[in-house]
Amino acid sequence: MLKNRNCIIRLSRYKNALYRLNALGFVRVFSDNLADAAGVTASAVRKDFSLFGISGNKKAGYQIEELLEKLNSILGKDKVQKVIVAGCGNLASALIKYKGFEKEGIKIVAGFDIDPAKHNRSNNVPVLPLEELKGFVRNQGIKIGIIAVPEAAAGQVAETMFKNGIKGIVNFAPIRLKAPEDCVVNYVNLEHELENLVYFVNALSKTKKKI
């Protein structure tokens, strides 16, 4: 019952849109509205829902609250997700300070770095020596990690994470990681994101105008 990556990302988008509609006082929503909000077609919305056995009411759409509950359950938002970050440079610090995770039930519980100057046990989110990652992850049963260390260190750090129980990594380092079969890595690469954009901007500007 493994669904495709895009489908899950779309569910997250629908969820976002639903929160917004909910805040505006709406009670019901149509596939059409969600489609607009998520930038897809209405039938894609319905197909996604049907894939997860979510159903609405003909002519009356979906109950927002009910739908939100179902999406949240699918996306594992019934409990707070504890996450650690390896590497406490600018990016990681920004992530640690970022308030947006909290309302999504995501809690960064610790950062790890080799640089002693960055260590700080009394912080709200403590920054600990990298050697403590192992024990911390094990003791707290952390399943999700973020890698924001330099390229050269990423492989090593990932290995340590996986060895000690981490099952999923968001990797900001520009290098492919070896992951055990039952683990997942999602890559985020801002350079590539920008490169991609540059390519499509150039490609579009070369496209002849339609009549």
> Where on the chain is the footprint of a second copy (CB under 8 A)?
1-3, 5, 8-9, 12-13, 16, 37-39, 74-77, 81, 83, 89-91, 93-95, 97-98, 100-101, 104, 106, 143-144, 167-170, 174-176, 182-184, 186, 188-205, 207
27: partner contacted, choices DNA, a second copy, none (Cβ within 5-8 A by kind): none
List the one residue out of 140, 177, 143 whose CA is nearest residue 158.
Answer: 177
Q: Please tell me whether residue 59 binds DNA under the rule CB under 7 A.
A: yes
Least Å distance, CB 88 to DNA, is 34
Q: Candidates 2-10, 98-106, 133-141, 171-179 — which segment interacts with DNA by CB under 7 A?
A: 2-10
Tell whether residue 134 is a contact of DNA (CB under 7 A): no
Q: Taking CB under 7 A as the rule, does residue 62 contact DNA?
A: yes
Distance CA 199, CA 202 (A): 5
Nearer to a second copy, 60 or 203 (CB): 203
196 binds DNA (CB under 7 A): no
**Residue from the set 58, 79, 103, 210 that interacts with DNA by CB under 7 A:** 58
Q: Cα–Cα distance between 22 and 28 in angstroms, integer?
A: 9
92 vs 128, beta carbon nearer a second copy: 92
**Token match 């100057």: residue?**
117
Q: Which does 37 bind (CB under 5 to 8 A by kind): a second copy, DNA, none?
A: a second copy
Using rule CB under 7 A, residue 60 touches DNA: yes
Phi, psi at residue 61, to the nearest 5°? 65, -145
User: Phi and psi dihedrals of 98, rounded to 5?
Assistant: -65, 125
Which chain residues interact with DNA by CB under 7 A?
A: 4-7, 30-32, 40-44, 46-47, 49-50, 54-62
